[in-house]
Structure 1
């Protein structure tokens, strides 16, 4: 299982704590970046919701930057990713919601 998040994100820390005991590869999107293939898979899986439009990063972007395609936005500003994103054997999950927890078998 691969976990895309930020080490400074409270939701990501909460999710990682709940996943303790599972084999998790943690990818910090700010420090480690997101590969082209992973970005493409996230955009394909989540579409517009891949971007957190409530973030301070989003609000700080110009209208021109906000109008860029999703892949370019995430490449330039990986912290725009709505977190966490989890890749479990090719199944992509986003956010730390009840549905995500149920899919992963955690409480």
Structure 2
């Protein structure tokens, strides 16, 4: 059994699907609600270093509602002010970070 931490928000359907699939594959999943338990500046720095601008979900309703000034700002600024802009889920295993729940992530974690 692999211990994983999944970062997201509890209302995110993709996060719910990922947790269900990972638990069905005998992973021990710890869910971290990024709104209730915000990431520290060093945790954000680590994720931005790993994923860059891909960490910002530009297809979200939250992003579409941002001012033009905020849309033009750096990912760090956007995520610091609006944590729900984070593309979800972010999954941490002991050796790697994964972004999203696409087929590549599923293959890596479910095989």
Q: What is the CA-CA distance between 1:105 and the residue it aligns to?
A: 2.5
Q: 1:31 Cα shift?
A: 1.6
1:39 and 1:2 map into 2 onto residues whose CA distance is: 15
Aligned pairs (5 A) from 1:1-107: 1-20=4-23, 21-106=26-111
Q: TM-score, normalised by structure 2?
A: 0.88
Give the superposed CA RMSD: 1.3
Structure 1 regions of 5+ residues with no counterpart? none
TM superposition outliers: structure 1 runs of 4+ over 2 Å: none
Q: Could you say what secondary structure the match of 2:73 adopts?
A: coil
- SS at 2:97's partner residue? strand
Q: Name the SS of the counterpart of 1:8 in structure 2.
A: coil
Q: Identify which range, 77-86 or 88-97, moves more after superposition.
A: 88-97
CA distance in 1, matches of 2:90, 2:110: 16
Asked if structure 2 preserves the Cα contact closer than 8 Å seen for 1:86 and 1:93, the reply is: yes
